[in-house]
Amino acid sequence: DTAVSQTPKYLVTQMGNDKSIKCEQNLGHDTMYWYKQDSKKFLKIMFSYNNKELIINETVPNRFSPKSPDKAHLNLHINSLELGDSAVYFCASSQVYVDTGELFFGEGSRLTVL
């Protein structure tokens, strides 16, 4: 059973389009995250949700909008895609955010904007 699953794994799209990445975790965790990994492998946190409530919102363009319908799901919608949005996006979850313990990562969604 996959603990944290993301879809799609690969996404190729044109500049200006809107796209979504979905994430689901079956670990019963309270907290979910989106991270962006650039071409130099630097991993940067974008958002964090705890029990469907936004708790971390880094300096991310308004074109990125996370949505958590329930604590097992955290989706990422991106409007008006730009070339610089090309990256690998990772979803992750953890048990309780106040302990900042181990994160469980999905396999990543590689977004290529042409």
Partner 1 sequence: SQQGEEDPQALSIQEGENATMNCSYKTSINNLQWYRQNSGRGLVHLILIRSNEREKHSGRLRVTLDTSKKSSSLLITASRAADTASYFCATAEPNYKLSFGAGTTVTVRA
Which residues bind to partner 1, rule: CB under 8 A? 4, 33, 35, 40-45, 48, 55-56, 90, 92, 97-98, 100-108
Residue 9 or 63 having the CB closest to partner 1: 9
Residue 56 or 72 having the CB closest to partner 1: 56
Residue 55 or 114 having the CB closest to partner 1: 55
Looking at the chain, the number of H-run helices and the number of E-run strands are 0, 11
Could you give the CA distance from residue 103 to residue 97 in angstroms, rounded to a whole number? 10
CB of 23: closest distance to partner 1 in angstroms?
11
Could you give the CA distance from residue 93 to residue 76 in angstroms, rounded to a whole number? 14
74, containing H or E segment? strand 73-78
Shortest CA distance to 92 belongs to which of 38, 29, 19, 42? 29
CB of 38: closest distance to partner 1 in angstroms?
9
CB of 41: closest distance to partner 1 in angstroms?
5
SS3 content of the chain, % helix, strand, coil (to 5): 5, 55, 40
Residue 45 or 72 having the CB closest to partner 1: 45
CB of 52: closest distance to partner 1 in angstroms?
16
